[in-house]
Amino acid sequence: MRMTYREALRTALTEALSADPRVFLMGEDVGRYGGAYAASKGLLEQFGPDRVRDTPLSESAFVGAGIGAALGGMRPIVEVMTVNFSLLALDQVVNSAATLRHMSGGQLSVPLVVRMATGGGRQVAAQHSHSLEGWYAHVPGIRVVAPATAHDARWMLPAALREPDPVFIFEHAMLYPEEGEVGEEPGPLPLFAAAIRRPGRDVTVIAHGGSVGKALAAAEQLATEGIEAEVLDLRSLRPLDDATILESVRRCHRAVVVDEGWRSGSLSAEIASRISEGAFFELDAPVARVCSAEVPIPYPKHLEDTALPQPDGICAAVRGVLQPAQAAGAKA
């Protein structure tokens, strides 16, 4: 069945609220307004204000309330309007949600799901456009996923609700209107496994969330040049699926990591390091990275587009890692 990413999320939320009375949704504008991105439209009328709760504009307060509810046996789904605003709740996340299982010796668990929009491309300026999911992937004690397809948007939520520990779901804001096929079952991949979205032989292009579509567009362009790029969708950012990443790199012998976060201290740096540690002697070229420019994301469209990873930049990075092989072929 084809549906938009937004509709897939709404389907997952409806099912979760219908199936388990412990599940409730709360966040800014999730009720009467229907959600900042319309993912919860109609749920207030269907389930009522006890199950779909509008909150004050205080991320620390409502994320903390979600932690308390999870400790009390509920299954809260907390929606944060945008990742930039989630920084106001970092104390709750790092010092409470992520630590309580460890600090209690396993006596406590926090089965909390936090959903938030991430990423740029909508011309809403720097305070609403950054990709900070790599910051969360740095924190032990939580799990971090990034659905890139409508199918994953539909099926990652129920999987996350089954986890005993906090799961943070990062939804790229440009994906909400995108359509895709959604299966009636989640499929064979577990929540934390990476997926090969396009097979190839010459280079592995590793991406997540909103960058997966750009990586696929780049692969289409590269195919016209005789370059077969394998596109790997991380899906899970913590834990990373090292086995699938390294298997792909060992097969293709080159890697390009696409990350809408900033290059310095980024998730792309962690992935490049793991590839170097686990598949160094399989590499025919250094791992390349395509990241956002090291500036606050600009408002004007031409500057925003320039600051963010784009298919042309991915193609250029792929050609760069292939140059040694092409030069050797020319000499031969």
Confidence of residue 188 (pLDDT cuts 50, 70, 90): confident
Active-site option among 28, 59, 79, 171:
59
Look up the CATH number of the domain holding residue 80: 3.40.50.970
For residues 78 and 160, state if they share a domain.
Answer: yes
**What per-residue confidence (pLDDT) applies to 324?**
64
Q: CA angle at residue 273 from 268 to 278, to 5 degrees?
A: 125
**What per-residue confidence (pLDDT) applies to 325?**
59
User: Residue 219 belongs to what domain range?
Assistant: 195-331
Q: Which residues pair with 196 in a beta bridge?
A: 232
189 located within any domain = no
Instruction: Choose the final residue of a domain: 181, 203, 221.
Output: 181
Of 250, 306, 300, 243, nearest to 280 (Cα)?
Answer: 250
Of 120-124, 193-197, 288-292, the range with the lowest mean pLDDT is 120-124
Stretch 227-234: mean pLDDT: 98
Token pair of 128 as six digits: 């609403």
Q: Is the pLDDT of residue 321 over 90?
A: yes
33 located within any domain = yes
3-class secondary structure, 219: helix
Question: What residues have CB less than 8 Å from 200, skipping those under 6 apart?
Answer: 219, 228, 229, 230, 231, 252
Q: Mean pLDDT score of the chain, rounded to an integer? A: 96
For residues 169 and 267, state if they share a domain.
Answer: no
Percent with pLDDT over 90 in the chain: 96
Q: How far apart are CA 55 and CA 35, in angstroms?
A: 12
Q: Which residues pair with 118 in a beta bridge?
A: 172
Q: How far apart are CA 83 and CA 141, in angstroms?
A: 19
Stretch 320-325: mean pLDDT: 84
For residues 318 and 232, state if they share a domain.
Answer: yes
**What per-residue confidence (pLDDT) applies to 329?**
47
Confidence of residue 3 (pLDDT cuts 50, 70, 90): very high
Stretch 35-39: mean pLDDT: 95
186 located within any domain = no
**Catalytic-residue membership of 302:** no
C-alpha separations of 232 from 49, 82, 180, 269, 273 in Å = 41, 25, 18, 16, 17
Look up the CATH number of the domain holding residue 237: 3.40.50.920
For residues 177 and 221, state if they share a domain.
Answer: no
Query: How many domains does the chain fold into?
Result: 2
Confidence of residue 286 (pLDDT cuts 50, 70, 90): very high
For residues 140 and 232, state if they share a domain.
Answer: no
**Catalytic-residue membership of 59:** yes
For residues 134 and 66, state if they share a domain.
Answer: yes
pLDDT tens column, 97-130:
999 999 999 999 999 999 999 999 999 999 999 9
Q: Is the pLDDT of residue 253 over 60?
A: yes
**Separation of CA 207 from chain center:** 9
Q: Is the pLDDT of residue 227 over 90?
A: yes
For residues 206 and 308, state if they share a domain.
Answer: yes
pLDDT greater at residue 325 or residue 87: 87
Active-site option among 7, 79, 128, 260:
128
3-state helix, strand, coil in the chain (%, to 5): 45, 20, 35
